[in-house]
């Protein structure tokens, strides 16, 4: 390690608290310091190059060195580096971005509220839905339906919606009324059932839960079209149209959490379009700015908006908002980022390169520790397990973590989520990038399989 990065590492070990990190292990082992990025690659302080196979945190659509985003940020910094949007104040980039999102989104999701992060956005969804139902004179309609392994963030309400043990244990979550339904993972949870039987069982479970709780108490169903952070779980055929029909039948709002899926990840603009349903509320973030700036948006239907707006008229205000809601630099960067995605047809590229990636990854099914290879568009999960029974191999997460570490040595950054190794590369990937990524991952799996013998 060179002198500067050595002293940075020592300082980091002494002072930083890292998210999603074993703090004591970090004090011992120290950080991996990333110094710069170019295209689909990032470089560490030792000068090593990696393909960023997870696009940062499932989020860098346009790659790591897009000059147009830097220039958009600089232009906005010069013009108006900050202003808020409280109490009727407005500025050009947030006005234009709200209009752009309203035009892009499906259905009548014409009204847009900005936050800084996906977690804040999902917290805001909970508060908006509660605010709306109080206004409509149905204060008992407050519960949420979510899914085990769903990920909706980590703030108190959003973390409650998340269905992963690590986000609840010792945090006293869930702290809001939420029921977590079965994770729609056919291979893992539907062994012995056809895909159609599995879908029917999940829909029956959902309807039974609604009836047992009382439809008059259930406010909303929230889900990611394809689950990301829970291990890249693609839904079985017919699942989403079935859920949408149940929501309609029982007057339950359907919330699509598109924080990972949105803006082309699945080869369609939004994940709900890939799975044929139209939500009442949609949450986006990550690829909205390629994560160059922190920003998320909530889009709501005219019906939801009207109920909320009427109540603000009654109360005199909407008592909710963030200092940086619709931040001018973040919204200016988002507009430029969306323009790049359109001009370069990155959604089309995601569809084409996604097919190539999914086809090449299928070969990993020949590896003895691989149970399932799944994915759609440019997101994939390779799960360690026994192919025919979906049983785990060894203690939870150990082999997947070994693959992740071997991949890093091979020059590929990916992510291990419990027993799954996830890929979610930038939307700008080329055929050559895909081939290299899959080659590196294959070597990593081979080394782990050899070690596990």
Closer Cβ to ligand PLP, 118 or 279, answer by number: 118
Closer Cβ to ligand PLP, 256 or 346, answer by number: 256
Among 62, 243, 256, 259, binds ligand PLP (CB under 6 A): 259
Closer Cβ to ligand PLP, 118 or 326, answer by number: 118
Among 53, 56, 228, 426, binds ligand PLP (CB under 6 A): 228
Question: Does residue 404 touch ligand PLP according to CB under 6 A?
Answer: no
Q: Around Cβ 355, how many Cβ atoms within 10 Å?
A: 15
How many residues at the interface with ligand PLP, by CB under 6 A?
15
Closer Cβ to ligand PLP, 164 or 438, answer by number: 164
Among 257, 280, 336, 433, binds ligand PLP (CB under 6 A): 257
β-strand partners of 218: 143
Among 5, 45, 105, 119, binds ligand PLP (CB under 6 A): 119
Question: Does residue 267 touch ligand PLP according to CB under 6 A?
Answer: no
| Nearest distance from C-beta of residue 349 to ligand PLP, angstroms | 22
Question: Does residue 231 touch ligand PLP according to CB under 6 A?
Answer: no
Rg (CA), the chain: 22
Closer Cβ to ligand PLP, 218 or 233, answer by number: 233
Among 53, 55, 118, 262, binds ligand PLP (CB under 6 A): 118
Closer Cβ to ligand PLP, 157 or 399, answer by number: 157
SS3 sequence of the chain: CCHHHHHHHHHHHHHCCCCCCCHHHHHHHCCCCEEEEECCEEEECCCCEEEECCHHHHCCCCCCCCHHHHHHHHHHHHHCCCCCCCCCCCCHHHHHHHHHHHHHCCCCCCEEEEECCHHHHHHHHHHHHHHHHHHCCCCCCCEEEEECCCCCCCCHHHHHHCCCHHHCCCCCCCCCCEEEECCCCHHHHCCCCCHHHHHHHHHHHHHHHHHHHCHHHEEEEEECCCECCCCCECCCCCHHHHHHHHHHHCCCEEEEECCCCCCCCCCCCCHHHHCCCCCCEEEECHHHCCCCCCCEEEEECHHHHHHHHHHHHHHCCCCCCCCCCCCHHHHHHHHHHHHHHHHCCHHHHHHHHHHHHHHHHHHHHHCCCEEEEEEECCEEEEEECCCCCCCCCCCCCHHHHHHHHHHHHHCEECEEECCEEEECCCCCCCHHHHHHHHHHHHHHHHHHHHHHC
Question: Does residue 223 touch ligand PLP according to CB under 6 A?
Answer: no
Among 73, 125, 132, 229, binds ligand PLP (CB under 6 A): 229
Question: Does residue 240 touch ligand PLP according to CB under 6 A?
Answer: no
The pattern of x and - marking residues 128 through 167 that bind ligand PLP according to CB under 6 A reads -----------------------xxx--------------
Question: Does residue 325 touch ligand PLP according to CB under 6 A?
Answer: no
The pattern of x and - marking residues 269 through 288 that bind ligand PLP according to CB under 6 A reads ----------------x---
The pattern of x and - marking residues 23 through 62 that bind ligand PLP according to CB under 6 A reads ----------------------------------x-----
Closer Cβ to ligand PLP, 117 or 301, answer by number: 117
Residues near ligand PLP, by CB under 6 A:
57, 117-119, 122, 151-153, 224, 228-229, 257, 259-260, 285
């Amino acid at each position: 390690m060179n002198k500067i990065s050595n002293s940075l590492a020592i300082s980091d070990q002494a002072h930083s608290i890292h998210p999603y990190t074993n703090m004591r292990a970090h004090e011992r082992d120290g950080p991996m310091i990333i110094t710069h990025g170019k295209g689909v690659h990032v470089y560490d302080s030792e000068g090593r190059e990696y393909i960023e196979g997870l696009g940062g945190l499932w989020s860098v659509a346009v790659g790591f060195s897009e000059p147009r985003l830097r220039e958009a940020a600089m232009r906005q910094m010069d013009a108006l580096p900050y202003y808020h949007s409280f109490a009727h104040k407005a500025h050009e980039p947030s006005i234009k971005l709200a209009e752009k999102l309203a035009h892009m989104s499906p259905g009548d999701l014409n009204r847009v509220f900005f936050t800084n992060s996906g977690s804040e956005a999902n917290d805001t969804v909970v508060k908006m839905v509660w605010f709306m139902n109080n206004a409509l004179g149905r204060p008992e309609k407050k519960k949420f339906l979510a899914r085990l392994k769903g990920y909706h963030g980590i703030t108190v309400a959003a973390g409650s919606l998340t269905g992963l043990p690590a986000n609840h244990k010792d945090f006293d979550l869930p702290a809001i009324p939420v029921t977590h339904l079965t994770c729609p993972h056919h291979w893992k949870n539907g062994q012995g059932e056809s895909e159609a039987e599995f879908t029917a069982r999940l829909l029956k479970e959902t309807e039974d839960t609604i009836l047992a709780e009382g439809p008059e108490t259930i406010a909303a169903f929230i889900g990611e079209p394809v689950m990301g952070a829970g291990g890249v779980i693609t839904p079985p055929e017919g699942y989403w149209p079935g859920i949408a029909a149940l929501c309609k039948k029982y007057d339950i709002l359907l919330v699509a959490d598109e924080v990972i899926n949105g803006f082309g990840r699945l080869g369609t603009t939004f994940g709900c379009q890939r799975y044929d349903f139209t939500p009442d509320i949609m949450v986006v973030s990550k690829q909205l700015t390629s994560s160059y700036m922190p920003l998320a948006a909530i889009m709501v239907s005219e019906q939801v908006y009207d109920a909320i707006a009427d109540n603000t008229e009654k109360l005199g205000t909407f008592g909710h908002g963030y200092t940086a809601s619709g931040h001018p630099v973040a919204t200016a960067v988002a507009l430029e980022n969306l323009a790049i995605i359109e001009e370069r047809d990155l959604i089309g590229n995601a569809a084409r390169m996604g097919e190539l990636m999914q086809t090449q990854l299928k070969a990993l099914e020949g590896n003895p520790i691989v149970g399932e290879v799944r994915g759609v568009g440019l997101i994939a999960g390779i799960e360690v397990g026994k192919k025919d029974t979906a049983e785990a191999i060894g203690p939870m997460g150990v082999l997947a973590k070994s693959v992740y570490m071997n991949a890093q040595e091979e020059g590929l950054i990916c992510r291990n989520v419990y027993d799954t190794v996830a890929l979610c590369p930038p939307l700008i990937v080329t055929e050559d990038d895909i081939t290299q990524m899959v080659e590196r991952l294959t070597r990593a799996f081979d080394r782990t399989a050899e070690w596990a013998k």
